[in-house]
Structure formats: structure tokens, C-alpha cells
Amino acid sequence: MSGTKGARGRRFEGGLAPDAAELNASVGFDWRLLPHDVEGSIAHARMLGRQGIIPTDDVEQIVTGLRAVQGRLERGEVDWDTALEDVHMNVEARLIDDVGDAGRRLHTGRSRNDQVATDLRLYARAAAARLVAAIDRLRAALVGQARRHVDTLMPGYTHLQRAQPVRAAHHFLAYEAMLGRDRGRLVDAARRAGESPLGSGALAATTFPIDREGVAADLGFAGVTHNSLDAVGDRDFAIELVAACALCQVHLSRLGEELVLWLSQEFRFARLPDAYCSGSSLMPQKKNPDLAELVRGKTGRVMGDWVTLMTVVKGLPLAYNKDLQETQEPLYDAVETLEASLGVCAGMVDALELDVARLRVAVGEGHLVATELADYLVARGLPFRDAHDVAGALVRRALDRGVELAGLSLEELREVHPLFDDDVYGWLDPARAVDRRDVVGGPARGRVVAEIARVEADLAATAAASSEARDTQDV
């Protein structure tokens, strides 16, 4: 490559040792920054032209050349050169080869330090937007299942023991609530990545009369950073984004675990199509929920990405240090792992078929309405702790008899406490028990239907806003 000697320049004689060059190079992973690097360079070049720092003719050559270089690299018409270390030097070297001295003027007033900091912030914001869209697709799948199963009852669990009946819709909406919080964290992380560090130079800004605010606006940033030392060494935005990814992956892991349980022969609550399962190399009868297990298993990986980022930055002095190169791979891995997991989970949830008959049987087993007996007595004036003891005694009696609570006669109920009357059996109907929990956030039918409508409206509003934003960008 004739256009440049790379970042080392004439200060150094010869190149790095082969093993040192291999360790030093980042183009094997930072190629992901290509569109953001070109976008940032175009904005920087145009600003240099507006400020009269470089000739206008050079600006046009640079812009046209950058777009051509990006296209050739994206199409694979030219190879990435590890000798040029990173995406920035690969782009600049090819630009100089194409347009000569105009390309050599592009780097005026900036350093690779503020350049990569800018590229990474642009990447983080774009990644957050993709992840938010993927979360919304999974939320829509969960709400779709909730809509289909408003009137399907299932056991609710604590300690993985059957506890009280709930609507299946309410269960699906619990995961939607988790993902709603994840969405908010990603949006928040993207907002804090919304300040442009370009113009901070290597660490002490630049002597050229640059327009930082103008470049920031061109790149869609809300503003600029206010300390050049901090700006080039800051990776908080990446740490926050990966932390949000890790927690979201944890929520997907919980969903994956429940799918594994529901699909087991012990539970038999649900079925998944073959597209999301695999067989056994030995046992022909097996149908394994491998994709749900993989989503669960990848959680450790994304959590590890966050730990890696924290460990890299924990002891760094100001300002830029080469260690910061090690923050890129965990960022890319966390984003790409979560994005893939969200897509698979949306597909699994959308394709999931609940065994309604099996769930109906499960709700009728295990004395899930025991709390209703206690509530019945409380409604008649008995203190709750006393009512709880009475209900516990009746559960024990039902277990001894081998029946559910509704199988006990009124006489048996009154033997334990005289406040019971014929109307108690209405309280022992699971559907009525669920609908008595008619509070905000509860599983009563009206509350669940209202929550489904609220989430659907939120998703529709978000989709409309995203469409409007895309249309504005196109214009």
C-alpha cells in the first residue's frame, strides 16, 4: 500500500515484529466500525472545508473517495490489511491511494484517539437501536401469546412448587415487563453515548479552529464532550450498554429455562415446532429444546463481556491507553449475542403452543386455592393468621383423604372451623379465585386485558415513531 506508512510514520525504522503486529492489529474485529468511521470522517472533512482549514475541492474528493472505499471494502473487492492495524488506517490508506494529497489532509485536527471514541459511540447508538427493535419484536410475540391465552389458567409457582392459579396471559406479560425495563436501560445507555468526543485530539484537543458542535449535529449527537482527557479515555457508554445487554440476556435465560421446563415430559405444558428443537444422535425418541438451552447458556458469555470491560478500565490512568482496544471485542460480542438471542426467543415464543387441557388439569391439582379458604374466613372476621392455620389444617386433611380442597364436604370444613358455609365452594373455583385478585398488576381478567391493550398501544406508538424517524432521515 503506497499511500501511507500507517500510524508509526517515519519516527520508527522498520515494522513491528510479526507476533507483535498480530497482537497489535484490531482490524480483525473493528471492521464493524467501517460505516461509522466513514460517516465520522465525512462529517469531519466537511467541517474542515466549512472552516477554511482545507480547500473545498479537497473536501469533495475526500467525500467521494471515502464512499468508494467503503463500498469496495463492504463488497469484498479489496481485502483488509492487517499491516495497517485497524479500520481507520485501512480506510485512510486506500483513500490516499485514490485521491492523493486530499486524502492526506483528512486527518487534520483529529487523532485516532478521538476518532475511535467517536466511531464507538456511533456504533453503540446504532446497536442500541437495533436491540430495542429486537426487544419490541419479542414483546409483541409475548403480547400475542397473552392475547391468545387470556382465559387459559395455569399454576403460578414459588420455589418451583405450585402456589396459586394465574392466567397464562399474566405469565407471558411478566416477561414483557422485564423486557420493557431492558428496553429503557438500552435507550438510557444510548442517550449517554450521545455526546461527540471528536475534536478532543489525542488528549489535549487541537490548535485548529474546528467546529465541534457542527460536526456533532451532522452526526446526530445531542452535544459534545467537555473534557478532552476524559473523552478519549471514556468507555462508560460501552460498559453501560453491555451491562444492559447482560441483564436482558439474564431475562432471556429465565424465559429459556421456563420453556425447557414446560416442554419436559414432567410438565408437558407446551410444545415447540421442530424448527426450534433438535434430536439425539443415539435416542430416536428425543426432541430437545436446544435453542432455549443455548439462550440460557449464552448468559455467562454476555456477563463475562461486562466483567471484561470493567476489568480493562479499572486501573487506567488518563488519557488514552492501548488497553482500551480490548474494550471493543466484548462490546461487539455482547451486542451480537443478545441480538441473536432476542431473534430466536421471538421465534420460539411466537411458535409456542400451550397444552390448554394439560394446564387445566395442573391447575386442579396441588391445592392451589388453599389461600382462598383463608381469605374466605378473613372476609368473615377471622384474623388472617388464624385463618391461615385453619386452611393449613384443611390441606393436611385433604392430603390424608387424597382429594383436592373442593372434595372436602361442608361438614369436614366445619369440623375445623364453624364459619364455613355453602358459598365457600364458589371461592374454590380457580377462575373465580384469579378474578378476585382485581388490583393493578393482578391477574384478574379485566386487569390482564387492560394491560395487553396498554402494551399493544405502546408498541404501536413506538413503531409509528420509528417509521416517522426513518421517513425524516430518508428526506
Does pLDDT of 2 surpass 80?
Answer: no
Q: Which of 149, 170, 264, 280 is catalytic?
A: 280
Does pLDDT of 6 surpass 60?
Answer: no
∠ CA(337), CA(251), CA(127), 5° rounding?
Answer: 40
Q: Which residues contact 230 (CB under 8 A, 6 or more apart)?
A: 318, 319
Q: Which of 159, 170, 253, 278 is catalytic?
A: 159
Taking alpha carbons only, the member of 183, 209, 178 closest to residue 128 is: 183
| Helix/strand/coil for 316 | coil
Indicate if 467 belongs to the active site: no
Helices (H), 380-475: 384-401, 410-416, 424-427, 430-435, 445-474
User: What's the first-to-final CA gap in the chain, in angstroms?
Assistant: 38
| Helix/strand/coil for 403 | coil
**Average pLDDT of span 56-85:** 97
Taking alpha carbons only, the member of 319, 289, 315 closest to residue 204 is: 319
- Tens of pLDDT, residue by residue over 432-458, are 999 999 999 999 999 999 999 999 999
With cut-offs at 50, 70 and 90, classify the pLDDT of residue 8. Answer: low
Q: Which residues contact 37 (CB under 8 A, 6 or more apart)?
A: 87, 88, 91, 115, 119
Q: How does the average pLDDT of the chain come out, rounded?
A: 95
Tell me how far apart the alpha carbons of residues 330 and 466 are, in angstroms, rounded to a whole number. 28
In the chain, the domains with their CATH numbers are 16-108 (1.10.275.10), 113-356 (1.20.200.10), 370-428 (1.10.40.30)
∠ CA(123), CA(458), CA(194), 5° rounding?
Answer: 25
The whole-number pLDDT of residue 321 equals 96
- Listed in order, strand segments (DSSP E) in 308-378 are 353-354
- Tens of pLDDT, residue by residue over 223-241, are 999 999 999 999 999 999 9
Q: The dihedral of CA 303, 299, 155, 148: what is its sign?
A: positive
Indicate if 280 belongs to the active site: yes
My answer on whether omega of the bond before 319 falls inside 30° of 0, hence cis, is yes
Q: The dihedral of CA 114, 188, 243, 467: what is its sign?
A: negative
Tell me how far apart the alpha carbons of residues 175 and 459 are, in angstroms, rounded to a whole number. 15
Tell me how far apart the alpha carbons of residues 286 and 37 are, in angstroms, rounded to a whole number. 49
Taking alpha carbons only, the member of 245, 137, 186, 141 closest to residue 463 is: 137
- Give one word for 79, left, alpha or beta, with left for phi > 0 and alpha for psi -120 to 50: beta
The whole-number pLDDT of residue 212 equals 98
Tell me how far apart the alpha carbons of residues 12 and 196 are, in angstroms, rounded to a whole number. 32
Taking alpha carbons only, the member of 456, 386, 454, 379 closest to residue 417 is: 386
Does pLDDT of 4 surpass 80?
Answer: no
DSSP calls for 222-283: SEE-S-HHHHHH--HHHHHHHHHHHHHHHHHHHHHHHHHHHHSTTT--EE--GGG-B--SS-
- Tens of pLDDT, residue by residue over 239-253, are 999 999 999 999 999
**The three grid cell numbers given for residue 433, joined into one nine-digit string:** 379465585
- Listed in order, strand segments (DSSP E) in 288-436 are 353-354
With cut-offs at 50, 70 and 90, classify the pLDDT of residue 465. Answer: confident
Tell me how far apart the alpha carbons of residues 70 and 7 are, in angstroms, rounded to a whole number. 20
**Average pLDDT of span 177-185:** 98
Angle between helices 299-313 and 236-263 (to 10 degrees): 160
**Average pLDDT of span 110-138:** 98
Angle between helices 112-148 and 87-99 (to 10 degrees): 120
Element (H, E) at 32: none
- Please tell me the pTM assigned to this model: 0.94
Taking alpha carbons only, the member of 76, 78, 181 closest to residue 135 is: 181
